[in-house]
Amino acid sequence: FDLYMGPKVLSDLKALDVGLETTVQYGLFTIIARPMLWMLRFMYGLVGSWGIAIILLTVVVKLLVWPLDQKSYKSMKKMRVLAPRMQEIRDKFKSDPQRQQQEIMNMYKEEGANPFSGCFPMLVQMPIWFALSRVLWNSIELYQVPFLYFCDLTARDPLCIFPIALSGVMFVQQKMSPPPTDPNQKMMMQMMPFFF
């Protein structure tokens, strides 16, 4: 028997030439995750810091998906403009839900708006961000590597600075999207950044 006992460093596993590199799993998004890992290593080679390499990789990915973000933001802005008209239609045809939906669809056609065009670009991006998350989660290179106030990049944030920053960014993004007309949904959307 051949036995390997060591960290799952992809380059070391490939060098053994026995197929052990397949033991490093990235889930459904392996096809996206492997190039991201290569890019992360490339950036580490440029800057010499895993923390900065992660930030640079995130910026590069964000720049690559920027056109999708822009399309989503434009759609959300158009929906925000149409929100008062939608509320008028809902109030006018409160007792006839079928007519209400028909009128809203007619308004969408008139204005050239599509309620799903704001969500579709986000759905396209989800596999990319999941793959990046899997790469960061499974990269042995980040184990016990210090960065800023972290003593280990694979450990959770000891001061909770990044979760708080994420909540703040989500709150700002939520304010940019059209407000829900349902009061329960509106309250849920306001609480979501804090839950995340």
pLDDT of 122-149, one tens digit each? 788 888 888 988 888 888 888 888 888 7
User: How many angstroms separate the CA atoms of 108 and 154, rounded?
Assistant: 47
What does the mean pLDDT of the chain come to? 82
Q: What per-residue confidence (pLDDT) applies to 178?
A: 64
24 three-state secondary structure: coil
Q: What per-residue confidence (pLDDT) applies to 182?
A: 59
Tokens read off for 120: 């579709």
Paired strand residues for 150:
147
User: Which position has the higher pLDDT, 39 or 162?
Assistant: 39
Give the percent of the chain with pLDDT over 90: 13
User: How many angstroms separate the CA atoms of 137 and 17, rounded?
Assistant: 25
7 three-state secondary structure: coil
Which helix (H) or strand (E) segment is 165 a member of? helix 161-176
Q: What per-residue confidence (pLDDT) applies to 111?
A: 82
C-alpha distances in Å from residue 190, one per residue of 40, 58, 195: 34, 26, 10
Q: What per-residue confidence (pLDDT) applies to 56?
A: 94
12: left (phi over 0), alpha (psi -120 to 50) or beta: alpha
Buried residues in 93-128 as b, exposed as e (16+ CB within 10 A): beeeeeebeebbeeebeeeeeebeebeebeeebeeb
Residue-wise pLDDT tens digits, 142-194? 888 888 877 778 777 878 888 888 888 888 877 776 666 656 667 777 777 77
Q: What per-residue confidence (pLDDT) applies to 122?
A: 76
Residue-wise pLDDT tens digits, 79-94? 777 878 888 888 888 8
Cα–chain center distance at 70: 15
Q: What per-residue confidence (pLDDT) applies to 184?
A: 65
pLDDT at 47 over 90: yes
Helices (H), the chain: 10-16, 30-47, 50-64, 66-92, 97-111, 120-138, 161-176, 183-195
Give the contacts of 31 (CB within 8 A, at least 6 positions apart). none
For the segment 51-57, the average pLDDT, to the nearest whole number, is 92
Give the contacts of 41 (CB within 8 A, at least 6 positions apart). 53, 141
pTM value is 0.70
